[in-house]
Amino acid sequence: MTGRRRYQGLAARFFLSQLLVVGASVLAAVVVASLAGPPLFHEHLEQAGAGHDAAQMLHVEQAYRDANFWTLGVALATALLCCLSLTWHVARRIQSPINALTQAAKAMAGGRYDTRVPAMGAGTEVEELAGSFNTMAARLQRTEDTRRRMLSDLAHELRTPVSVLTVYHEALQDGVSHWDEPTGELMGEQLARLTRLVEDINDVSRAEEGRIELDRSPQGVSGLLHAATEAHKEAYATKGVALTMDADPGLAVDVDRQRMGQVLGNLLTNALRHTPAGGRVTLEARQSPSGVTLSVTDTGEGISPEHLPHVFERFYRGDTARDRDHGGSGVGLAISRALIQAHGGTLSATSTTAGATFTIDMPTKQPPDQPTYRRTRSSTVNTGAPPLE
């Protein structure tokens, strides 16, 4: 089976195809020389006046055939050897980078996502293929890192409430503890934490897969921002952080009011978490060439450069982007970005040592290539939806 595969390889097939081409060329040259050469030579002899002696003509023509046979044979054999050598060299040059790509693909299939293909100098097409492979490998490695981190974070998030519930359950069974109001409140808090985690995982999956139902309608931007600030002003006042709003008048967007409240709530809660007492968070709205730009800017510790590209990844936690000790589940920003993308907009983050800014760019109208989300009718509008991070 291995021998058969060897002859089915690209290099072997390329070599055999070139061999057939060269063989056909040699055969064609021999046939043409044998059929066309002697009549032409005989005609030239007659024109030269050497056609009166038949024996002489026969000898001369035989000499021509012999000379032509040996000369053509040696020339074609030499050309054949040179062509075969060059073809084999080119076939090996083609085979080597493809073998390298094959081995790299096998390594990745075995779980080695750090595998990369070096530059091989095998031509533009092969180099582009190798570059695409390395890009794919890098993305798969990041996905695998996120998956492992997600599993670790899930285990951490589940461990505490499950441990508390287990301890209290055993204590109640053994009669060490009795059911009272503090016990009920504590177990209720842990169950609520588990419920929130499950809901967060479901929300981020539905949002990133485009299964969010949007009840879109024209909304005044000032009203959206005012509702968000009103919903969070008490928490800001308690911590001693100033919350201000500044919006251009007359701005409107076609959005799901409840979902936008959820996004703004996430961003405001995230900003409050990382802004110390005495700081300031500003919620702004401005007209932009493509639509409306909303921004949440804080004066906190900012996001370090190594963490900034990952703040929207689910379950990613950095020194400032995610902090499980403050109650974040690590999916709020991922949900927010997915919700904004579902509206046809973008959510980005920038940061300096003086704080961070999260910017929402919303188009005036939904682009035609955006996925269509089913509109639903809802009689309840909650502009101050609880944040998910």
Does 186 share its domain with 230? no
Helices then strands, each counted (H, E), the chain: 8, 7
Kindly state whether residue 349 falls inside one of the protein's structural domains: yes
In which region does residue 121 sit, left (phi positive, over 0), alpha (psi from -120 to 50) or beta (all else)? left
Last residue of a domain, one of 94, 112, 130: 112
The pair of structure tokens assigned to 94 is 């083609």
Kindly state whether residue 44 falls inside one of the protein's structural domains: yes
Q: Which of 386, 388, 389, 384 is nearest to 228 (CA)?
A: 384
Kindly state whether residue 145 falls inside one of the protein's structural domains: yes
Give yes or no for a contact between 370 and 362, defined as CB atoms under 8 angstroms apart: no
Cα-only R_g, the chain: 38
Give yes or no for a contact between 253 and 382, defined as CB atoms under 8 angstroms apart: no
pLDDT at 64 over 70: no
Does 23 share its domain with 63? yes
Element (H, E) at 282: strand 280-288
pLDDT at 28: 76
Kindly state whether residue 279 falls inside one of the protein's structural domains: yes
- pLDDT (tens digit, 9 = 90+) per residue, 158-205? 787 888 888 888 888 888 888 888 888 888 888 887 887 787 777 777
Least confidently predicted of 42-46, 49-53, 278-282, 369-373: 369-373
**Average pLDDT estimate for 211-223:** 86
**Average pLDDT estimate for 66-82:** 74
Give yes or no for a contact between 270 and 333, defined as CB atoms under 8 angstroms apart: yes
pLDDT at 389 over 70: no
Could you tell me what percent of the chain has a pLDDT over 70? Answer: 73
Does 346 share its domain with 222? yes
Does 201 share its domain with 223? no
Which of 151-155, 190-194, 232-236 is most confident? 232-236
Is 371 in a helix, a strand, or coil?
coil
Specify the CATH number for the domain of residue 190. 1.10.287.130
Does 340 share its domain with 231? yes
Q: At what angle do helices 54-109 and 10-47 cross, to 10 degrees?
A: 170
Kindly state whether residue 309 falls inside one of the protein's structural domains: yes
Alpha-carbon span 309 to 314, nearest angstrom: 12
Alpha-carbon span 375 to 382, nearest angstrom: 17
Q: Which of 123, 127, 95 is nearest to 8 (CA)?
A: 95
Alpha-carbon span 170 to 162, nearest angstrom: 12
Last residue of a domain, one of 192, 209, 226: 209
Does 256 share its domain with 221? yes
Total count of domains within the chain: 3
Structure-model confidence comparison of residues 377 and 142, the more confident one: 142
Residues present in the chain in total: 389
* 230: CB partners within 8 A, 6+ apart: 384
Does 35 share its domain with 107? yes
Kindly state whether residue 386 falls inside one of the protein's structural domains: no
Local structure of residue 325 (DSSP, 8 states): G
Could you tell me which residues are beta bridge partners of residue 358?
296, 349
Does 353 share its domain with 222? yes
Specify the CATH number for the domain of residue 266. 3.30.565.10
Does 262 share its domain with 359? yes
Kindly state whether residue 117 falls inside one of the protein's structural domains: no
- pLDDT (tens digit, 9 = 90+) per residue, 245-268? 999 888 999 999 988 998 999 899
Residue type, 176: V
The pair of structure tokens assigned to 372 is 């269509």
**Average pLDDT estimate for 296-317:** 82
Does 246 share its domain with 273? yes
Scanning the structure block, which residue is given the tokens 């204590």?
Answer: 171
In the predicted model, what is the mean pLDDT of the chain?
76
**Average pLDDT estimate for 147-152:** 73
Which of 4-18, 66-80, 98-112 is most confident? 98-112
> What range defines the domain where residue 62 resides?
11-49+56-112
pLDDT at 46: 63
Give yes or no for a contact between 187 and 155, defined as CB atoms under 8 angstroms apart: no
**Average pLDDT estimate for 67-89:** 75
Least confidently predicted of 188-197, 233-242, 296-305, 372-381: 372-381
Q: Are strands 280-288 and 242-247 parallel, antiparallel or unpaired?
A: parallel
Using pLDDT thresholds of 50, 70 and 90, give the confidence band for residue 356. very high
Last residue of a domain, one of 180, 209, 238: 209
Alpha-carbon span 190 to 158, nearest angstrom: 10
Kindly state whether residue 370 falls inside one of the protein's structural domains: no
Does 204 share its domain with 237? no
Does 249 share its domain with 343? yes
